[in-house]
Structure 1
Amino acid sequence: MEQELKEINIMPRIGDQAPDFEAVTTKGKIKFSAFAKDKWIILFSHPADFTPVCTTEMSGFAQRKAEFDALNTELIGLSIDSIHAHLAWVNNVKENTGVYFDFPIIADIDMKVSRLYGMLQPNESETAAVRAVFFIDPSKKIRLVMYYPLNVGRNMDEILRALEALQVSDANGVAMPLNWKKGDRVIVPPPKDLDEMQERIDGNYAEKIDFYLVKKDL
């Protein structure tokens, strides 16, 4: 029992390589290490098919899939349900709302992937995955992790904002201030030595509080 709990509580951290797995999905069988080459991945779990909060969330991902596509990002959902339940749910939502979940949803009936990614939290539920979101870059490194309880839905604007912030930061070697969104000024990395400090002091930047807090436009 103790070993089982240890396995359940494994939680990959930011900077870790995303654990590899093979799984059956609504788009066929995948091997994660070979999936979506050269793309970012948002891997997210939901507690159960045919439940209200999960339906709103999955619909949110589906309705904004074009925005994830534009950010070179693949979506993968997961819950501890069978492939048959997944297919029936996808069809039911499409028939009732017109929203189509056009991305793979992992049928994690044996809880293998949920355990690998720390999606099972015994004090919340031992049989349903919490609402986890993993931001995984093209090298399959975990860059950001969000966890929500079973009864609170996620914020799609924040997921897209955080994804874009990671990509812009990588591309430009900068950091993002509070509430950053596309088009806002970004933070120049703090100096690592005296020469860099003097450059921050003397440099012509869009906004400067002091040498350690300098912003520029991209």
Structure 2
Amino acid sequence: MSLLIGDTAPDFEAETTEGRIRFHDWAGKDWVIFFSHPADFTPVCTTELGYTAKLKGEFEKRGVKALVVSVDTLEHHRAWSEDIAETQGAAVNFPIIADTGRKVATLYNMIHPNADPKLTVRAVYVIDPNKKIRASIVYPPSTGRNFDEVLRLLDSLQLTDGYRVATPVNWQDGEDVIIVPSLQDPEEIKRLFPKGYKALKSYLRLTPQPDRV
């Protein structure tokens, strides 16, 4: 099954390192970063889970939960978590799904047979409080993900949900944003963007980030 932006994230039940969950109930009203790992006790994954643990405060500020799936067992997950804490300086503080039957990985199209039929690729899904898939990123097993980019993506999604703007190339939180081209009424623009804007073209209008003082 191919999951696209705007699709409802499939629900499922699974055993995790924090007990059995039903995904939609567990997610509640939060955003979710749901990502897969090829296998436990592997070097790239170890660095990724350690870094994700260090981001707990950043995720909480954004109303985000992290959820990980791997095709290994709960016993392996728990033993590996000790290695992560030892080598990365941060204990795992989010659930890891034990997907030994590959049901969740298959449901979310995380196994790419031409890459490796036995392991998941490094997939990332950003899922909003309405359980809609808002973004997806796929890396090969050999390449560690950039979780700073995941935070940047979250900031953009949450900002553009609240304001009629888009974020330009390499945008970082606090920088100028783009007024959406569909917004043309001068009075409405003035009301929505009292700081004013700079028109480089009729369709390219930059304005200070509207949620900043």
Normalising to structure 1: TM-score of the pair?
Answer: 0.89
Contact (CA 8 Å) 1:205, 1:214: kept in 2 or not? no
Unaligned runs of 5+ in 2: none
- From 43, 46, 50, the equivalent of 1:52 is 43
- The correspondence for 1:89, drawn from 68, 80, 91, is 80
Q: What one-letter code is carried by the residue in structure 2 that aligns with 1:163?
A: L
| Matching of residue 76 in structure 1 with residue 63 in structure 2 | no
Moved over 4 A (4+): none
Q: Percent identity?
A: 44
Cα distance in 1 for partners of 2:119, 2:2 equals 16
Residue 108 of structure 1, aligned match among 80, 93, 99: 99
Q: How big is the shift at 1:61? A: 0.5
In structure 2, how many angstroms separate the alpha carbons of the residues matched to 1:34 and 1:19? Answer: 12
The residue type paired with residue 123 of structure 2 is A
- Contact 2:47/2:88 (<8 A) preserved: no
Query: Of the candidates 138, 141, 155, which is equivalent to residue 150 of structure 1?
Result: 141
1:176-217 CA-partner distances (Å, limit 9, x unpaired): 11111111111111036xxx2x639x9683321121111111
Q: 1:210 aligns with which of 185, 201, 205?
A: 201
CA distance in 2, matches of 1:37, 1:97: 29
Which runs of 5 or more residues in structure 1 are unaligned? 1-9
1:176 pairs with 147, 163, 167, which one?
Answer: 167
Deviation at 1:19, TM superposition (A): 0.6
The answer to whether the Cα contact below 8 Å between 1:46 and 1:129 also exists between their aligned partners in 2 is yes
How far apart are residue 97 of structure 1 and its match?
4.2
Match of residue 166 from structure 1: 157
Aligned residues of 2:7 and 2:133 also touching (Cα < 8 A): yes
Q: How far apart, in 1, do the equivalents of 2:89 and 2:175 lie?
A: 35
Would you say the 8 A contact 2:47–2:84 is kept in 1? no
Q: Which of 119, 130, 154 is the equivalent residue of 1:139?
A: 130
Letter in 2 for 1:56: T
**Aligned to 1:42, what secondary structure does the other structure show?**
strand
Q: Which amino acid aligns with 1:23?
A: A
In 1, the alpha carbon distance for the partners of 2:177 and 2:154 equals 15
Residue of structure 2 in register with 1:27 after alignment: 18
State the distance in 1 between where 2:205 and 2:179 align.
6
Q: What is the CA distance between 1:96 and its match in structure 2?
A: 4.3
Cα distance per residue 1:1-37 (max 9 Å; x no partner) = xxxxxxxxx2211000001100001111000111121
Give the alignment partner of residue 64 of structure 1, picking from 55, 63, 66: 55
* RMSD value, Cα: 1.7
| 8 A contact 2:49–2:84 mirrored in 1 | no
Match of 2:53, SS? helix
What TM-score comes out, normalization by structure 2 length?
Answer: 0.91
How far apart in 2 are the matches of 1:59 and 1:50? 13
Q: CA deviation at 1:93?
A: 2.2
What is the CA-CA distance between 1:122 and the residue it aligns to?
0.2
**Paired letter, 1:73:** V
Q: How many residues of Structure 1 are paired with residues of Structure 2 in the alignment?
A: 204
Cα distance between partner residues in 2 of 1:74 and 1:115? 22
Is the contact between residue 86 and residue 105 of structure 1 (CA under 8 Å) also seen in structure 2? yes
Residues of 1 paired with 2:103 and 2:74: CA distance? 15
